[in-house]
Amino acid sequence: MEKFVIHGGKPLRGEVTVSGAKNAAVAIVAATILCDEQCILENVPEISDIAICVKILKEMGAAVSFTGKNTLKVDTRQIKNPVVPYELARSMRASSYFIGTLLGRFHDASVPTPGGCDLGDRPIDQHIKAFNALGAKNENANGVIRVYADHLVGAQIYFDFNTVGGTINAIFAAVKADGLTIIENAAKEPHIVDLANFLNSMGADIRGAGTDVIKIRGTKFLKGITYAIIPDQIEAGTYMVAAAATHGDVLVRNVIPKHLESITAKLRMIGATVDEFDESVRVYVEKPLVKTNVKTLPHPGFPTDMQPQLSALLSICEGTSFVTDDIFDNRFRYAGELRRMGADISIEGKVAVIQGVKELTGAPVKATDLRAGAALIIAGLCASGITEIEDIYHIERGYEQIDEKLRKLGADIRRVYYNNAEIALSV
Ligand code: EPZ
C-alpha cells in the first residue's frame, strides 16, 4: 500500500504543466472502438483510469500500446469479443462508455455495471433511455448490462437533466445509427467538445457539441487519425487552488483559459490574483483570502469536480462560506477528514457550511474518492505539521505524477510504502 506524507506550510512556487484531460481521454480511448483503422492519441495522461481502459481494450482483442510518453497507438480492428471483464469495469465510471461504443460497432454490448468514485447513487437510466430511443433493447442480469439492437436508427433524445456520461454514450451509439439523431438538453463540458472533434476528425458528422442541442448524422466509415487530447481543466484548477491555499506563486502551463473561467472567477472573489495568458495562468496571493459562496453547476458553471478542492481552501479563508453541490447525492465525504485537520465544516443536506480557521494542522487522513483526495493534499500542503494521506489509489486515478509535480513546486511530499498487516500487527 502507498500513502502520501506531506510536511505542510511551504508556499508553492514555480511552474507546473497540466496533463491531458482524464474525462476526455477515457471517452476518446473508448471511442477508438468505432474506428475502422489505427489511431494515434497524444497528450494521453498516464493515470490508472487510462491503464484500465487500455486493459479492457486488450482483453477484447485490440492492439494497444504506449509508443512514447503520453502517446497511445490503438488498433481495435481485431476485437471479436464485445464483453468487458467484470473487475475492470466496476473500478471506474468510464467503463459505461464501452456500452455505447460496442453497441455502435457490434450492435451488442455486455458491460458490468460501472463503478467509480462513491458519490452516492449513480444510475445510468439516461444512458439506457438514449439507447432505447435509437432502437436498442436492454437487460440487466448478474451485474452485467446488455444492450443490443438489430438496427440503430437516428432519433430524438431528450435528457431529463444534464448528464455528461449520458450525452457521451448517446453520441457513441448515434454516430453509427442510420440517419439523424438530435440530442436535446445535452451536457456541454469541454470533454464532450473534444470527443466530438475527435470523432469528426475521423469523418463523423456531429454538430453543436458544447451547446444544449447536438445533431449527429450516422457515418459508415471512420478513418484512423492522430489526435491530441485537450488539457485537464480540473487538474489545472487543482494546482490553481493549491497555489492560493499555500499563499504561493504558480504558473500553470498548458491550459485553455476559457475552460477555467468559473474557477478563475471564484479564486478572484476569494482574493487571489489570477493573471491569464494564451496557454497558462499565474496564481498568487497579495492580500488576505476571504469567504465566498459557490453552487456547483453543469459547464460552464463552477464544476462539481472542483468542489472538494475549493472547500479545502475555504476552510482557511476568513468568514463563513456556503458550498452547495446537488449534482451528486453525497460529494462531501471528505468533510470528516478535513475536520481531523481542524477545519470547521458542517454538512447540511447538499450544503457545506465552512467557518474559516486561522490554520489547519497535519493529521493522518484517508482519501475517500479522487477529488476528495486532491482536497486533502491541498489541506496538507497548507497545514502546519505532518499529514499522512492513505488510499491514494483514488488520487492516482486522475492525477498524473501529482507528487512529482508538487515537489517541483517546492512541496515537501513523499510517497511512502506501508503494509497494512504491520499496522494491524502493531495494534
Ligand atoms: C462525469 O461523471 C465525470 N466522470 C465526473 O467526474 C463528473 O463529476 C461528472 O461527469 C459531472 O461533471 C467522467 O467523465 C468519467 P453525470 P458522470 O452523468 O458521467 C446522475 C471526476 O472527479 N445521473 O453528468 O457519471 C448522476 O448520478 C469524476 O473526474 C443519473 O441519475 O456524471 C449524477 O448525480 C467524478 N442517471 C448526475 O446525474 C444517469 O443516467 C450527473 O451525472 C446519469 C447520471
Claim to verify: residue 236 and residue 369 sit in the same structural domain: yes
The CATH code of the domain that includes 242 is 3.65.10.10
Claim to verify: residue 110 and residue 149 sit in the same structural domain: yes
Claim to verify: residue 207 and residue 272 sit in the same structural domain: no
Most ligand 1 atoms within 8 A of CB, residue of 93, 158, 304, 307 to mutate? 93
Region 2-31: what's the mean pLDDT? 98
Task: For residue 202, give the C-alpha cell.
Answer: 475521423
C-alpha span between 316 and 360 (Å, rounded): 7
C-alpha span between 374 and 377 (Å, rounded): 5
Helix axis angle, 97-106 to 22-31, nearest 10°:
20
Q: How far is the CA of 190 from the centre of ligand 1 (A)?
A: 14
Using the predicted structure, report yes or no on whether residue 106 has a pLDDT greater than 80: yes
C-alpha span between 418 and 425 (Å, rounded): 13
Using the predicted structure, report yes or no on whether residue 420 has a pLDDT greater than 80: no
Claim to verify: residue 199 and residue 256 sit in the same structural domain: no
Q: Confidence band (pLDDT; 50, 70, 90) for 421?
A: low
Atom 28 of ligand 1, residue of closest alpha carbon: 305
Claim to verify: residue 216 and residue 308 sit in the same structural domain: no
- Residue 374, classed as helix, strand or coil, is helix
Most ligand 1 atoms within 8 A of CB, residue of 118, 122, 132, 235 to mutate? 122
End-of-domain residue from the set 165, 193, 228: 228
18 close to ligand 1 (CB < 6 Angstrom): no
Compute how many other C-beta atoms are within 10 angstroms of the C-beta atom of residue 65: 11
More confident residue, 245 or 90: 245
Query: Residue 201 to residues 194, 208, 327, 384: CA-CA distances in angstroms?
Result: 11, 15, 32, 50
CB 186 within 8 A of CB 213: yes
Atom 17 of ligand 1, residue of closest alpha carbon: 165
More confident residue, 86 or 22: 22
How confident is the model at residue 80, as a pLDDT? 82
83, HSE (Cβ side, Cα atoms, 13 Å)? 6
C-alpha span between 130 and 380 (Å, rounded): 43
How confident is the model at residue 423, as a pLDDT? 52
Compute how many other C-beta atoms are within 10 angstroms of the C-beta atom of residue 161: 10
How confident is the model at residue 117, as a pLDDT? 86
Using the predicted structure, report yes or no on whether residue 116 has a pLDDT greater than 90: no
Atom 14 of ligand 1, residue of closest alpha carbon: 23
Amino acid at 337: E
Region 110-121: what's the mean pLDDT? 89
Claim to verify: residue 213 and residue 271 sit in the same structural domain: no
Atom 30 of ligand 1, residue of closest alpha carbon: 123
C-alpha span between 337 and 15 (Å, rounded): 29
Q: Confidence band (pLDDT; 50, 70, 90) for 115?
A: confident
C-alpha span between 412 and 381 (Å, rounded): 8
Atom 32 of ligand 1, residue of closest alpha carbon: 164
Claim to verify: residue 64 and residue 146 sit in the same structural domain: yes
Compute how many other C-beta atoms are within 10 angstroms of the C-beta atom of residue 71: 15
- What is the number of domains present in the chain? 2
Residues of the chain above pLDDT 70, percent: 98
Q: Confidence band (pLDDT; 50, 70, 90) for 427?
A: very low
Q: Confidence band (pLDDT; 50, 70, 90) for 127?
A: very high
Q: What is the 3-state secondary structure (H, E, C) of 202-241?
A: CCCEEECECECEEEEECCCCCCCCEEECCECHHHHHHHHH
Torsion of CA 372, 377, 383, 389, to 10 degrees: 90
Q: How far is the CA of 155 from the centre of ligand 1 (A)?
A: 23
163 close to ligand 1 (CB < 6 Angstrom): yes
End-of-domain residue from the set 228, 251, 286: 228
Q: Confidence band (pLDDT; 50, 70, 90) for 121?
A: confident
Claim to verify: residue 63 and residue 26 sit in the same structural domain: yes
Question: Per DSSP, what are the bridge partners of residue 280?
Answer: 253
Is 53 known to be catalytic?
Answer: no
Residues in the chain: 427
C-alpha span between 250 and 15 (Å, rounded): 6
Claim to verify: residue 266 and residue 284 sit in the same structural domain: yes
Q: What kind and span of H or E run contains 29?
A: helix 22-31
Using the predicted structure, report yes or no on whether residue 49 has a pLDDT greater than 80: yes
Q: How far is the CA of 186 from the centre of ligand 1 (A)?
A: 13
How confident is the model at residue 426, as a pLDDT? 46
End-of-domain residue from the set 211, 228, 245: 228
Q: Confidence band (pLDDT; 50, 70, 90) for 422?
A: low
Angle at 303 between CA 300 and CA 304, to 5 degrees: 145
C-alpha span between 380 and 398 (Å, rounded): 19
Q: For residue range 193-242, list pLDDT tens digits in order.
A: 999 999 999 999 999 999 999 999 999 999 999 999 999 999 999 999 99
C-alpha span between 279 and 15 (Å, rounded): 13
Claim to verify: residue 42 and residue 172 sit in the same structural domain: yes
396 close to ligand 1 (CB < 6 Angstrom): no
350-366 burial code (b ≥16 CB/10 A, e <16): bbbebbbbeebbbbebb
Q: For residue range 247-280, list pLDDT tens digits in order.
A: 999 999 999 999 999 999 999 999 999 999 999 9
Mean pLDDT estimate for the chain: 96
Claim to verify: residue 47 and residue 135 sit in the same structural domain: yes
Domain that residue 201 falls in: 22-228
315 close to ligand 1 (CB < 6 Angstrom): no
Q: How far is the CA of 164 from the centre of ligand 1 (A)?
A: 6
Q: For residue range 276-308, list pLDDT tens digits in order.
A: 999 999 999 999 999 999 999 999 999 999 999
pTM confidence score: 0.97
**One-character DSSP codes across 296-334:** B-STTSB-GGGHHHHHHHHTTSBSEEEEE--SSS---TT
Claim to verify: residue 223 and residue 272 sit in the same structural domain: no
Using the predicted structure, report yes or no on whether residue 55 has a pLDDT greater than 90: yes
C-alpha span between 156 and 159 (Å, rounded): 10
188, HSE (Cβ side, Cα atoms, 13 Å)? 15
Region 27-41: what's the mean pLDDT? 98
